[in-house]
Amino acid sequence: MLMRSGAPALLSRQVIRHGQPVLTVETFEELKQRLWKPKFDRYVSMEDRKQLLHDLDAVACWVDVTRTISELAFSRDAEDDKFIHAALAAGACWLVTGDKDLLVLSESLLSSGVRIISPADALQLPEFSPRL
């Protein structure tokens, strides 16, 4: 998502420009924690990371996850459930992720109305394909 090219970066820009990312306090906190890791220093400046967080914060659909939703377990990695909870709370159609633990749940979540797809697959959808 941080690099200028590649599916995650293209998709992130498309969603910020033409859609609305869904965030919860928990998902935003995880993103912030990951963005500050030194391993990203060689790829993107701190200023660009701050700008990304600012842009996401400004355009996001912020949702509160109900207790009923937060008690649901989906992933073998319980830390990943917060992303599914956010999608369910927002009534989102898609959960776009590169996380393999979430991608394997795609079929099992279809009945809930959430489609889990990779960034590359999302860019193939008319809703997310880059506009000229």
Can you list the residues of the chain whose pLDDT is less than 70? 1-5, 8, 128-132
Q: What is the pLDDT of residues 31-66, one digit of tens each?
A: 999 989 998 888 888 998 898 899 889 989 999 999
The radius of gyration of the chain from alpha carbons, rounded to an integer in Å, stands at 15
pLDDT at residue 16, as a whole number: 73
To the question of pTM greater than 0.75 for the whole model, the response is: yes
Question: Domain extents for the chain?
Answer: 7-122
- Region 7-122: CATH code: 3.40.50.1010
pLDDT at residue 129, as a whole number: 65
pLDDT at residue 20, as a whole number: 86
Name residue 62's beta-bridge partners.
23
Contact 87, 81 (CB under 8 A): no
